[in-house]
Amino acid sequence: MDILYITGAGVSSESGIPTFRGEDGYWTIGSVNYTPQEMATRKMYRENPAQFLSWYYHRFATYRNHGPNDVHYWLADKNLITQNIDGLDGKAGNRNYIAVHGRLDQMTLFHHQGDEVDVISTPWDEIQASEDQLSLENDLKALFRIKNNPQKNVSYKPFVLLFDEYYTDLYRISESQQRMEKADKIVFMGTSFSVNITQMALQVAANRNIPIEIVDPNPVDVGYDLATYYPMRASEYILSC
């Protein structure tokens, strides 16, 4: 049986990486609080690149040296699409997984969506953690080659799919769809079904009348007759397999 696994933030939370929509995802600029959905946008990157990069640094990059957990290792030989940008599945040994939302340890030139661009490593280790916010912002702008506003073919951008962007083949979306169409079963682990890739996979499963499993401590009821729910953490689920 060809089983496709689709994972979300709940899987990496057991490695100490906070979930994307947790309370620590919010960011204050001046006296205004911004949600992750407002921070992680091309609009914010164009208008306030220093704050955008500071948020990503505090929110994700400081966790870049965290290691995989038992679930990542269990998934190392599985057919896998992850929404996570932490790269932990690669560290665990999965050589063919799809990071459909990108990876924070990589970056691209700031480009128009759909353009073909190279993906290169982000040298986060060049950033010295500093309590001085202005120094941190200046270091981040230098790392991403930002002088004023991000510009095509001048600045870099984290290789991360932002909320006001859409899936392209830079993020291997066609291959992701092909895997969905070939799967005999889809297992969703640690996801809230709040992003397009999970809705896309759910629709494919319904169209093809294949079973799905939903593994989460608080699983979302997707209203699908062939869904089996496992109200538990992914680490508990793999022990039962």
Domains (ranges, CATH) in the chain?
1-17+68-101+161-241 (3.40.50.1220), 22-65+116-160 (no CATH)
pLDDT tens digit string along 93-107? 999 999 999 999 999
Scored b (16 or more CB within 10 A) or e, 164-198 reads ebebeebbbbeebeebbeebebbbbbbbbbebebb
Strands 102-109 and 120-121, bridge-based pairing = antiparallel
pLDDT tens digit string along 167-178? 999 999 999 999
Q: Exactly one of 66, 101, 111, 112 is catalytic; which is it?
A: 101
101 annotated active-site: yes
Average pLDDT of the chain to the nearest whole number:
91
